[in-house]
Chain A
Amino acid sequence: MFADVWKSRELIWTLFMRDLKAMYRQSYLGYIWIFAAPLVTTGVWLFMNSQKIVQVAETPVPYLLYVMVGTVLWTTFSSAVSQPLVSFNSGRPTFMKLKVAPEAFVAAGLVKVLFDLGVRLLLVVPVFWVAGVMPPSTALLFPFAVFCLLLLALAFGMLLVPLGALYQDVGRGTTMLLGFAMYLTPVVYPPVETGWVAILLRLNPVMPCLMTARDWLTLGPSDYVIPMVVIALCSLVVIFIATIMLRIAVPHLIVRMGM
């Protein structure tokens, strides 16, 4: 199975390049659009916090940096959750007619997510400078934490594909839930210790990955490493099962999607 993905690496790359080139060929602002989402979210929260519209508790690093890194990570997570289904659906006309591994389309979508993350991280660099924070040495571990975060996202994303390919409700529901889930995750506010929100946060699997990644990049050692590794390992198992399930489902999906 993974050998198949490896075999189709050229196809994955070609598909990724195709989408990337095509996306910016009909646009003047081009790659700037990748920055847009996290910039806007950050701006909104900076504004709300500075104007005391919403009171956010004291963050361990300057709020600008905290929100910026948080939204970059969250945008990456949420796009990685929806990407497999989006990629699957966009590749549908092709693998409905030709024998192509649908995983290649999903993988190309993930490469896109990684690419976007890379571009957005460039945006974070000046923020460090503005906030006057020097990244700690744990920042070197940051890619590993992002990797765990992506594993979790992919686990969710892959599980959605078989049903989501049949019913559009799944895709729409996911978009809505992701918007809601952002506020159940300490993206723009620090983790709460008391009350029922604290319980919800403790149950939220995204929190350890996101917190570790941000802590490592901006602060230093993190308290959430062990939960993160456990979650990542579970995600790996889920991804494995979900990929097999997708393989079994694909011929059925093609039948139901029509000729």
Chain B
Amino acid sequence: MKDARPLIRCENVGKKFCRNFKKSLWYGVQDIVGDYMLRQTNVTKLSNQDVTQQRLRRDEFWANQGISFDLQQGECLGLIGRNGAGKTTLLKLLSGLIKPDIGTITIRGRVGALIALGAGFNPLLSGRENIYINGAILGLKRREVAQKFDEIVAFSELEKFIDAPVRTYSSGMSARLGFATASYFDCDILLIDEVLAVGDFAFRQKCFRRLATYVAEGGSAILVSHALEQVMARTNRAILLDTGKVVFDGPPREALHQYENRVVDDLFAKALENHWRPGRSISELEDTPVQVHSARFYDCDNPDSAIYPGAKLSLEVVFHCSEDMEKLLLGVAVFSQHEVSLLESAVECVAVGGETYRLVCDFNSVPLRPSAYPVQIRIHDHFNCCLFKIDRKDFLLRVAQPRHEGLDSFELQSTSILDVDFQWKRDVMGTADGADCFSGAQDL
């Protein structure tokens, strides 16, 4: 039976942490004594309305602040954000391990946590013994574990090694055993912290199928992951955290888009956009006969405008050569943020000492989606020795978001790399009677 009330309700939740370890311990003592004084014996209630808690002490910061959201039954929520954005803290608050400094968390249902796989494993004991230990720690009865034992072992695919000490397992194997045991724990809300990233590809797929079954059967889950495709494919909602605050809550695609934009903005803070000049790069090699004065991308049709998807793009490199070079090799490569090379081009030329050259490479159409792409430029001599290099982290090609109307929302939220002009056509192939075959293309 479906209940309209949310399984999790977070209201204005905040949690403070301290950067200084010694001070942190001392604040811990203060907090514990403070709790004793307040006689908060009802420790299971995850709530704190004490106003004095809202003040930060020295060296403290908000690891989570003002977090409010609901989780409904059957929802699979992705939690994304950079390292240190407060994802794990939030999971710990939700699992009831730590209490919020302010705000209230209300939880209805049994919470299962896939946070630490293989909790309580003792490396000296066998896999068989450890399944029972892990089960007991997760709150399973010995009888329940015994019933599911064969299934657990089968799922982990460790039949051959089940009586070997866990110490002899590879990290992937012990994580598999841990996941297999933990996944047989019945719960209403499942908290998953990065643990699905373990094991080989086949096992990961198996884990995801299991998660999908669980959600399909009405279970709810919160998934923390840096593997963004995972989040997008498996969740139906995502929350983006940045420095402890919720900055977006909605469809996973949109969340991912915003997340990427933030990362890109960050990249830009450190690198040069579309136009590289010396001074920022640490990759310039000293004492080489080639010195690059500038490198830039521009739209050949409209050199002063920003670069939009599909533009006719030019790369211009201006360099000075102090010696005669019978053969210079200049190469350029554009990468995706996942370090995949998207396009590469190279040219050979002859250079006379004392001259300054301008090399231009025209790309007919660059169908890249709006984003920022790291660029690498290298110049080699004919011994293939690197004379000059602009590193990826110093130079970015930025493709801007076109401002014309009529873009449908799907296209806007797409996370594909390529942005190619395409048209769909629909042909009616005719009916079974054979009449009216190929009535021709129609507009959609």
Contact = CB atoms under 8 A, between A and B. Distances in A.
Given A18-B122, A166-B29, A247-B43, A259 B133 contact: no
B41 A256 contact: no
B32 interface: yes
Given A18-B120, A255-B15, 5 more contacts: A22-B125, A25-B124, A251-B97, A254-B92, A259-B92
B137 interface: yes
Interface of A: 10-11, 14-15, 18-19, 21-22, 25-26, 91, 93-100, 162-163, 166-167, 244-245, 247-249, 251-256, 259
B29 A163 contact: yes
A217 B35 CA distance: 45
Contacts of A163: 29
Contacts of B92: 254, 259
Interface string B127-149: 00100110011110110000000
Nearest to B165: A25
B239 interface: no
Task: Give chain A's interface secondary structure class.
Answer: helix
Interface stretch (B111-119, B154-162, B226-234, B317-325): B111-119
Contacts of A22: 122, 124-125
Contacts of A247: 43
B32 A98 contact: no
A247 B44 CA distance: 10
A252 B137 contact: no
A94 B125 contact: no
A99 B24 contact: no
A97 B138 CA distance: 11
B113 A98 contact: yes
B28 A251 contact: no
Contacts of A95: 97
B99 interface: yes
B94 to A, nearest CB: 11
B65 to A, nearest CB: 15
Nearest to B138: A98
Contacts of B142: 10, 14
Nearest to B142: A10
A98 B138 CA distance: 8
A90 to B, nearest CB: 10
B229 to A, nearest CB: 25
A251 B99 contact: yes
Contact of B133 (A15, A96, A97, A245): A15
A98 B116 contact: yes
A128 B110 CA distance: 55
Nearest to B40: A248
Given A10-B136, A15-B136, A100-B137, A94 B119 contact: yes
A259 B379 CA distance: 46
Nearest to A259: B88
B95 interface: yes
Contacts of A249: 32, 35
B422 interface: no
A99 B125 contact: no
A259 B224 CA distance: 15
A248 B32 contact: yes
Contacts of B412: none
A83 to B, nearest CB: 18
A21 B113 CA distance: 27
A248 B141 contact: no
B131 to A, nearest CB: 11
A10 B136 CA distance: 7
A188 B190 CA distance: 57
A253 B142 CA distance: 30
B96 interface: yes
Contacts of B119: 93-94, 97-98, 100
Interface string B1-43: 0000000000000010100000011011101100110001101
B43 A166 contact: no
Nearest to B26: A166
B196 to A, nearest CB: 16
Given A18-B120, A25-B124, A251-B99, A94 B35 contact: no
B124 A244 contact: no
13 contacts: A18-B125, A18-B129, A21-B122, A93-B119, A97-B115, A97-B119, A99-B97, A100-B139, A163-B29, A247-B43, A248-B41, A251-B99, A254-B98
Contact of B111 (A94, A99, A248): A99
A33 to B, nearest CB: 16
A253 B96 contact: no
